[in-house]
């Protein structure tokens, strides 16, 4: 496949400072194009040398988003999936580490015999090939590929990606690509002015690299106004109509609507040559954008009928992006229940040191987060014991399930030393143990049980009612599991194994009888929640919390 295969390409870069929201902006562009009937996929380039974020601390990089095919990827892929409702894969995220690893492997194999291997053309060619691979995935040809470049223009790490994009655009032809640059127009409070100079310098740096932005998305606290748009356009060499406001909003799900009102969707269609032409995509692209579902979503978000309070107990609560997909899954579940979900963060280490906090006694539900390592685990177990004994609706994810099993084994089954071999290798009662396939694994990166696996549901259980079907596929990221040797005594004491893997027999879901709603899952349901389609378990958990709040009050 070549850049001239009929697929259109959009490249999103960022300048001035990081954390402007390139991922949200890219996903919102995807929404606008999908709303016009185009088939859209997305790609994220990350300039770090790690092969993937799987071995990075959540405090360094936020959550690791796991795709259906088991790739450990950047959290922005979660935004892509939530917004455009298309499953990403290992083809949709590439790091500098992956690019260099591939090129070095080819060199060792002898693919470049006789040649000096260099950044240009070998690294840039590999980057360009990743863009084309994303356009043709699993037998699907996409109409548009949106590529986000991580980092900030001017960073040395991102230069090979930007050079590859420069070459790609030259080869693709004028109406086959669009360069979108997200930048900052800061408000200087002392002078009461929005300042355009940072945007001018960011675009200047991008043009020095050889890329002229076609559209500018300008983050600003206030409206730019006609005069500022004209000034930015003049100094950045774009028409004022191509300067689009990207203001702060109440909810990120407003961004597609804001962009559409600013004319971004029509700009993209025009720039890509899809307006009233003979191009096969023009019929779809010329249709008005169907954003009714998004308008309804935003209306429900801003006007909830109910409010519910849920505690999130984890060990990385100092950085909320560590649990980004969980936070967004609660937004979606709130909309599905016509409720605003207020999240209360509980540090599991604090629970371990100081006991059950007052906030846990005031909420209507408890979610215990995934994680690795022994730090804060006893705090999670104590919080789960409180939820079990006080009838507080509970959802445990991955480590949350494992802690729930340990708690139940200790306090209900009377196995006081029950533990996980992750936390105590010498425990006499390893109710949680390392998976057999993980015992001899030496490498840390990319070796866990990753990606989508089947789960058979037990009829009549909470989870079976939530999903409404017998078999599901959910995404995993773990090395430890419920030890099947302890399933019999657990079940005898009232623990219900409501889901298991049909191939391996591994426990996937546990529930408790005689409790308003108590569910633990080995997988990560938050990874499959969508803006317009809440995940069944989060939806039903929030519903149970709402019921609990009515009884409590």
Tokens of 353: 């040191």
DSSP-assigned states of every residue in 182-222? EEE--EETTTTEE--HHHHHHHHHHHHHT---SEEEEEESS
Q: Could you say which of 218, 526, 535, 540 is catalytic?
A: 526
398 is catalytic: yes
| Pairwise CA distance, residues 430 & 415, whole Å | 10
pLDDT of the chain along its 553 residues, tens only?
456 568 999 999 999 888 889 999 999 999 999 999 999 999 999 999 988 877 777 767 778 899 999 989 989 999 999 999 999 999 999 999 999 999 999 999 999 988 999 999 999 999 999 999 998 866 678 999 999 999 999 899 999 999 999 999 999 998 999 999 999 999 898 888 899 999 999 999 999 999 999 999 999 988 898 999 999 999 999 999 999 999 989 999 999 999 999 999 999 999 998 875 556 666 555 677 899 999 999 999 999 999 999 999 998 887 777 899 999 999 999 999 999 999 999 999 999 999 998 889 999 999 999 887 778 899 999 999 999 999 999 999 999 999 999 999 999 999 999 999 988 989 999 999 976 655 555 454 455 778 899 999 999 999 999 999 999 999 998 888 999 999 999 999 999 999 999 988 899 999 998 899 999 999 999 999 999 999 999 999 999 999 999 877 6
Query: CA 221, 223, 224, 227: dihedral to nearest 10 degrees?
Result: -140
Check 313, 398, 413, 455 and give the catalytic one.
398
Q: What is the per-residue DSSP string for 242-266?
A: GEEEEE--SSGGGHHHHHHHTTHHH
Q: Which two tokens stand for residue 93?
A: 């995220």
CA angle 68, 72, 76 (to 5 degrees): 90
| Alpha-carbon span 93 to 148, nearest angstrom | 10
* CATH code linked to domain 8-297: 3.40.50.300
Q: Residue 330 and residue 375: Cα distance in Å, rounded? A: 25
Q: How far apart are CA 284 and CA 287, in angstroms?
A: 6
Whole-model pTM?
A: 0.92
What are the b/e assignments for 377-406, b being 16+ CB within 10 Å? Answer: bbbbbbbbbbbbeeebbbbbbbbbbbbbbb
Check if 332 is active-site: no
One DSSP character per residue, 21-41 reads -HHHHHHHHHHHHHTTT--EE
122 is catalytic: no
Pairing of strands 306-314, 339-347: parallel
Taken as a whole, the chain contains a residue count of 553
- Token pair listed for 326: 């969980």
Q: Which fold has domain 305-552?
A: Rossmann fold (3.40.50)
Using DSSP's 3-state secondary structure scheme, residue 27 falls into helix
List, in sequence order, the alpha helices (H) in 3-155.
22-34, 58-61, 76-84, 96-109, 124-135
Which token pair is 279? 């191009």
**40 with 144: CB under 8 angstroms?**
yes
**Residue 529 in contact with residue 325, Cβ under 8 Å?**
yes
Please state the domain extents for the chain: 8-297, 305-552
Task: Please tell me which residue in 422, 524, 535, 540 is annotated as part of the active site.
Answer: 524
């Amino acid at each position: 496949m070549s850049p001239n295969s009929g697929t259109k390409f959009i490249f999103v870069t960022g300048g001035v400072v990081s954390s402007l929201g390139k991922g949200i902006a890219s996903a919102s562009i995807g929404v606008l194009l999908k709303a016009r009937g185009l088939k859209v996929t997305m790609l994220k380039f990350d300039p770090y040398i790690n092969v993937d974020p799987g071995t990075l601390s959540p405090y360094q990089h936020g959550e690791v988003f796991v795709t259906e095919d088991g790739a450990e990827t950047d959290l922005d892929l979660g935004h892509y999936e939530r917004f455009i409702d298309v499953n990403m894969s290992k083809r949709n995220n590439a790091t500098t580490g992956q690019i260099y690893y591939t090129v070095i492997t080819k060199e060792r194999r002898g693919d470049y015999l006789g040649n000096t291997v260099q950044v240009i053309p070998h690294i840039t060619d590999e980057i360009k090939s990743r863009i084309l691979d994303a356009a043709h995935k699993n037998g699907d040809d996409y109409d548009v590929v949106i590529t986000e470049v991580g980092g900030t223009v001017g960073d040395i790490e991102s230069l090979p990606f930007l050079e590859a994009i420069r070459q790609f655009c030259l080869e693709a032809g004028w109406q086959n690509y669009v360069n979108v640059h997200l930048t900052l127009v800061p408000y200087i409070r002392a002078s009461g002015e929005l300042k355009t100079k940072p945007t001018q310098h960011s675009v200047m740096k991008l043009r020095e690299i050889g890329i002229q932005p076609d559209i500018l998305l300008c983050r600003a606290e206030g409206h730019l106004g006609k005069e500022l748009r004209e000034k930015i356009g003049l100094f950045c060499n774009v028409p004022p109509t191509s300067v689009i406001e990207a203001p702060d909003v109440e909810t990120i799900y407003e961004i597609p609507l804001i962009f559409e009102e600013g004319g971004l969707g029509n700009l993209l269609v025009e720039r890509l040559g899809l307006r009233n032409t003979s191009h096969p995509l023009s019929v779809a692209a010329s249709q008005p954008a169907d954003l009714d579902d998004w308008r309804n979503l935003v209306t429900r978000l801003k006007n909830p009928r109910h409010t519910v309070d849920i505690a999130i107990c984890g060990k990385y609560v100092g950085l909320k992006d560590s649990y980004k997909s969980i936070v967004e899954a609660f937004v979606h579940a709130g909309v599905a229940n016509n409720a605003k979900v207020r999240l209360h963060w509980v540090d599991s280490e604090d629970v371990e040191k100081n006991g059950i906090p007052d906030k846990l006694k005031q909420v209507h539900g408890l979610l215990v987060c995934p994680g690795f390592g022994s730090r804060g685990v006893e705090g999670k177990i104590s919080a789960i014991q409180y939820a079990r004994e006080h009838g507080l609706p509970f959802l445990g994810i991955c480590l949350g399930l494992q802690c729930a099993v340990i708690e139940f084994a200790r306090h209900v089954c009377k196995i006081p030393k029950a533990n996980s071999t992750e936390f105590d290798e010498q425990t006499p009662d390893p109710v949680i143990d390392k998976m057999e396939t993980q015992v001899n694994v030496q490498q840390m990166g990319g070796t866990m049980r990753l990606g989508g696996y089947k789960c058979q549901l037990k009829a009549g259980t909470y989870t079976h009612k939530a999903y409404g079907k017998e078999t599901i596929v959910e995404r995993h990221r773990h090395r430890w599991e419920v030890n099947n040797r302890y399933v019999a005594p657990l079940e005898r004491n009232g623990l219900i194994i409501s889901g298991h893997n049909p191939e391996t027999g591994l426990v996937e879901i546990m529930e408790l009888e005689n409790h308003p709603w108590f569910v633990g899952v080995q997988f990560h349901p938050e990874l499959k929640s969508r803006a317009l389609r809440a995940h069944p378990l989060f939806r039903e958990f929030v519903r149970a919390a709402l019921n609990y709040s009515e009884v409590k009050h």
